Structure 1
Amino acid sequence: MTSTLAIVVSLLLLMYLAYRGITVLLLAPLMAALAVLLSGDISFFLPIYTDTFMKALSGYVLQFLPIFLLGALFGQLMADSGAAHTISRWIVERLGHKHAIVTVVLACSVLTYGGVSLFVVAFAIYPIARDLFRTADIPKRLVPASVALGSFTFTMTALPGTPAIQNAIPIPYYGTNVFAAPGLGIIGAAIMLGGGLWWLRSREAAARLRSEGYGHHTEVDSAADEKGEEESGPMSRMPLFLAILPLLLVVGINALFTYIVFPNMALAFLTERFPNVSPEKMTGLWALIVALMVACATLIVSRLGHWRDLRETVNKGVFGFMLPLFNTASEVGYGAVIASLAGFAIIRDAVLNVAPGNPLISEAVAMNVLAGITGSSSGGLSIALQTLGSDYLRMAQEAGISPELLHRVAVMAAGGFDTLPHCGAIITLLSICNLTHRQSYLNIAAVTMGVPLVALISVITLGTMFGSF
């Protein structure tokens, strides 16, 4: 009981201190150490850190470093080449200020589904969204929710093939790929998009009845404005086809290697030289790595002679992957330490028995809770799979549930309570928009937690009734 209480105390402190802005890089090992001390396992303090914590952290880095690195590089190349700006401007020109909310949501979703970083999208789209909302006289407080709907929801967790790191994390645990349960993913995405747009349009209509308007705001010259001004220069004049081509390559090449190339290759010979490699569990990651490499190379080659400073862009993208990777890896190390404590058995059994006979519900609860506590969908997902992934896979096999359905439910669930107020992405988004939690958080919560929860329940229901499709 003491060990279980120690785990709960450390989790609550992790959530509170993360909300106060302390980096998870420091919090994760400190809170893991606190849990060990409070549980009375003082004699195991140093071995648990050097063996359990660091082994889990380093294992995660080894497995997912290429995805984080290539994803960050691709996002930076899309931003600095002007491709992201070209695509977003094209959507704006087609839809216009009369459909400002839909325009912003679609611009964000196209970029994030193509593999552009959530933060790059927020910086790139905010100046456009601000001008659209001001022209349409829509309250500025709805801008963050519009960006969040297009960036933090269906393109991150539901749409099949999305290169978001959240969609890649379950692959080595379940032996799946990023296209897992495509039919259910599309249904979930449609519910998120449709429900989110309905909510935002209803808030817009209510504001018009009150004659609220855009509001009086002191617009500060932020990094987003500077980025937008830079992209309005020569680099932004990129042909639309070249701007969209890298996005198509990420999804297309990923699908090509996932469904055609790797399945038709005899990969058993790899285990002779690499006995620890399981090809059937790794081809999903390999396909994503190849797709991101080709997309990055295409962007560089297609814009040769047009880059302001290609070396600076590459360096910025490569350096930009380190903090997100090690933040998540530290949380995985924390989860490994927690899982090694005696009190975790009580918590594990309670979670696994939430819905006996249906591991999908138990998995959804575990992912939501841990994502909420850590304020990170990737962090919560990684901790849950690190500690419970093998249990869920076993339970699913016993219940006749496909790993693909487990994959999709896990990713969608992790994209639920991850956007609680202490979430770093939400804090950053509000900072970019120069708004506060009080002004905008209710609408953010509605489109990133409320509507996705409905989508998750729908997918679990359909998956339980009809299986994975």
Structure 2
Amino acid sequence: MGLLGILIGLGLLVWLAFRGWSVLLLAPLGALVAALFAGEPVLAHWTLTFMNSAAHFLAQFFPLFLLGALFGKLMEDSGSITAIADFMMRRLGKNHAILSVVIAGALITYGGVSLFVAFFVLAPMAQELFRSAGIPRRLMPAAIVLGTSTFTMSAFPGTPSIQNAIPMPFFGTTPFAAPGLGIFASAIMLCFGLWWLRRIEAAARKSGEEFGEGSLATSDDLASDEQMRERASVGREFDPAEIARGKRAQAIPPILVAVLPLAVVILVNLSMSLIILPSLDLGFLSEARWGGISRSAVSGVWAVVTALAAAVATVVALNFRRLPTLRATMDAGANASVLPAVSVASLVGFGAVVAAMPAFEIVRDWVLGIGGGPLVSIAVATNILAALTGSASGGLTIALDALGSTYLARAQETGLDPALLHRVAVIGAGTLDSLPHNGAVVTLLAVCGSTHGESYRDIVVVGIIGAILALIAVIVLGTFLGSF
């Protein structure tokens, strides 16, 4: 009965979330169903197991949600993202339309800008370039996915994405875990995705297919769609309802001013991770009032938080006169972080209750018994959970909450570098999370004025198949060569 309860609770969560119900309601409901079938104390699991786990997630990662959303909104309203997109359009032009969109998306998201903020700049850019180049509209979503939701989210070393931050407290790693393998995986995702898109572009030209008809969705359209908002808030770290709030600058900044905050994110993150924090005496963390934690449990998150805070200060300082409603913009950015953070925390609470069920031992033994060692096991676990929840961050946290300590112990027994576990887990969470019900996929298709039938096949190839190929390559190389 216990295992049946887990399956029913998970089924309710997935089915109703796909239909647009709020995860804030569904996650505790699914957890309570699992506890009820197992004969466990229902109220205790809700108010203690569920809430303690959700609160712990917020305590660890809410600063990243807050600063990431705030930075993205400031970059949008200051015109910095538009300036970067315009620069790429002028430099590469219609002859390299797909490459322009991919590089612009990669630069923006690797610099710390929230995904949904980037969508509303990249989609008009892609529309203009693709129309002038005669490339079918249906390829726009896949090009944007390749640049924003693949290697810059999960593989490229130092990325400030929430997905790259989640394993750090579990494994004591930094944002730059396994940098060589991360760069190798990024190259596979990028090259494979570009090869596919150019192949499809060539086939479309040969068949005489043109850009086609359709219109982009506006931020107001997205903000008014409550069902899409619920899906999107679980899928990524920005509440779409806040995108339309605030006021954009009338004139975009020079390209150097636009890019500088992104450079600050990267440089401060690198300095904090590899130079500043390792040189500081953090022995006070072992005191009882700080929870008796180790340096490695917080240093990775501290590095990303500091980098984003420095970038926020930079974009405000450089664009103070350019931001017409600074307070409204900052309020919108801060508000945009709340629903996604609490939604993912609710998924984490659900996972904690499921993991506390006696029947979970069956699931645990099955996952840990997968052949190929801990790298294959953790890749399978994160893939499955990200697919079921429609959230890379939610699936990754549930997997590591339930099994992270076990994976770390096994790694230590076999001499496996935790940095390798980190990179495999993050890339694994960024594969099957892009199934049709994923909030980011649904939102992007709406923004581009496209449908699943028109564009989803190409999203699968560049966003899922490419990532799986990179994941396999990292596992094979890591198994034989170790972390590098």
TM-score range, shorter chain: over 0.9
Q: Residues 375-434 of structure 1, C-alpha deviation per residue, up to 9 Å, x if partnerless?
A: 010010010011110011011111211010000000000001001111011111111112
Aligned ranges for residues 66-77 of structure 1 at < 5 Å? 66-77=63-74
Structure 2 residue aligned with 1:166? 163
Q: 1:144 to 1:180 in 2, by over 3 A?
A: same
Is the CA contact 1:130–1:140 (under 8 Å) kept in the aligned structure 2? Answer: yes
Structure 2 residue aligned with 1:386? 401
Find the partner of 1:130 among 105, 127, 132.
Answer: 127
Q: 1:88 to 1:406 in 2, by over 3 A?
A: same
Q: Mean Cα displacement is larger for which, 366-375 or 233-242?
A: 233-242
Q: State whether structure 2 residue 325 is matched by structure 1 residue 328.
A: no
Q: Mean Cα displacement is larger for which, 181-190 or 132-141?
A: 132-141
Structure 2 residue aligned with 1:293? 309
Q: For 2:452 and 2:433, how far apart are their aligned partners in 1?
A: 15
Instruction: Give 3-state SS (helix, strand or coil) of 1:354's partner.
Output: coil
Q: State whether structure 2 residue 347 is matched by structure 1 residue 348.
A: no
Structure 2 residue aligned with 1:339? 355
TM-score by length of 2: 0.93
Q: Aligned-pair distance for 1:179?
A: 0.3
Aligned ranges for residues 433-452 of structure 1 at < 5 Å? 433-452=448-467
**Pairs aligned (count):** 465
Structure 1 residue aligned with 2:139? 142
Q: For 1:233 and 1:294, how far apart are their aligned partners in 2?
A: 21
Q: Aligned-pair distance for 1:33?
A: 1.2
Q: Residues 422-460 of structure 1, C-alpha deviation per residue, up to 9 Å, x if partnerless?
A: 101111111111211111111111111111000000000
Q: For 1:344 and 1:233, how far apart are their aligned partners in 2?
A: 50
Q: Aligned-pair distance for 1:225?
A: 11
Instruction: Give 3-state SS (helix, strand or coil) of 1:269's partner.
Output: helix
TM-score by length of 1: 0.96
Q: 1:55 to 1:256 in 2, by over 3 A?
A: same
Q: Aligned-pair distance for 1:240?
A: 1.2
Instruction: Give 3-state SS (helix, strand or coil) of 1:176's partner.
Output: coil
| Identical columns (%) | 49
Q: State whether structure 2 residue 154 is matched by structure 1 residue 157.
A: yes
Q: 1:233 to 1:284 in 2, by over 3 A?
A: closer
Aligned ranges for residues 293-442 of structure 1 at < 5 Å? 293-355=309-371, 358-442=373-457
Q: Aligned-pair distance for 1:233?
A: 7.6
Instruction: Give 3-state SS (helix, strand or coil) of 2:298's partner.
Output: helix
**AA matched with 1:160:** P
Find the partner of 1:262 among 249, 255, 277.
Answer: 277
Aligned ranges for residues 29-40 of structure 1 at < 5 Å? 29-40=28-39
Is the CA contact 2:178–2:419 (under 8 Å) kept in the aligned structure 1? Answer: yes
Q: For 2:17 and 2:142, how far apart are their aligned partners in 1?
A: 22
Unaligned runs of 5+ residues in structure 2 are: 224-241
Q: Residues 326-345 of structure 1, C-alpha deviation per residue, up to 9 Å, x if partnerless?
A: 11100000000000111100
**AA matched with 2:3:** T
Is the CA contact 2:245–2:328 (under 8 Å) kept in the aligned structure 1? Answer: no
**AA matched with 1:93:** R
Q: For 2:47 and 2:291, how far apart are their aligned partners in 1?
A: 26
Q: State whether structure 2 residue 263 is matched by structure 1 residue 248.
A: yes
Q: Residues 299-342 of structure 1, C-alpha deviation per residue, up to 9 Å, x if partnerless?
A: 11111222110001100000000011011100000000000111
Aligned ranges for residues 43-58 of structure 1 at < 5 Å? 44-58=41-55
Q: For 1:268 and 1:98, how far apart are their aligned partners in 2?
A: 56
Q: For 1:4 and 1:112, how far apart are their aligned partners in 2?
A: 40
Q: Mean Cα displacement is larger for which, 149-158 or 215-224?
A: 215-224
Is the CA contact 2:163–2:393 (under 8 Å) kept in the aligned structure 1? Answer: yes
Q: Aligned-pair distance for 1:10?
A: 2.0
Structure 1 residue aligned with 2:76? 79
**AA matched with 1:428:** T
**AA matched with 1:39:** A
Q: For 1:237 and 1:464, how far apart are their aligned partners in 2?
A: 48
Structure 2 residue aligned with 1:284? 300
Structure 2 residue aligned with 1:9? 8
Is the CA contact 2:76–2:248 (under 8 Å) kept in the aligned structure 1? Answer: no
Is the CA contact 1:83–1:236 (under 8 Å) kept in the aligned structure 2? Answer: no
Q: 1:245 to 1:212 in 2, by over 3 A?
A: same
Q: For 1:216 and 1:51, how far apart are their aligned partners in 2?
A: 53
Is the CA contact 1:254–1:287 (under 8 Å) kept in the aligned structure 2? Answer: yes
Q: 1:197 to 1:223 in 2, by over 3 A?
A: farther
Is the CA contact 1:372–1:380 (under 8 Å) kept in the aligned structure 2? Answer: yes
Q: Aligned-pair distance for 1:230?
A: 12
Is the CA contact 2:156–2:182 (under 8 Å) kept in the aligned structure 1? Answer: yes
Q: For 1:128 and 1:234, how far apart are their aligned partners in 2?
A: 18
Q: Aligned-pair distance for 1:18?
A: 1.7
**AA matched with 1:333:** G
Q: 1:387 to 1:220 in 2, by over 3 A?
A: closer
Q: Residues 199-238 of structure 1, C-alpha deviation per residue, up to 9 Å, x if partnerless?
A: 1111111111111111133556664999999999854431
**AA matched with 2:342:** F
Q: For 1:64 and 1:280, how far apart are their aligned partners in 2?
A: 15
Q: Residues 69-106 of structure 1, C-alpha deviation per residue, up to 9 Å, x if partnerless?
A: 00100111111111111111101110001111111111
Unaligned runs of 5+ residues in structure 1 are: none
Is the CA contact 1:19–1:421 (under 8 Å) kept in the aligned structure 2? Answer: no
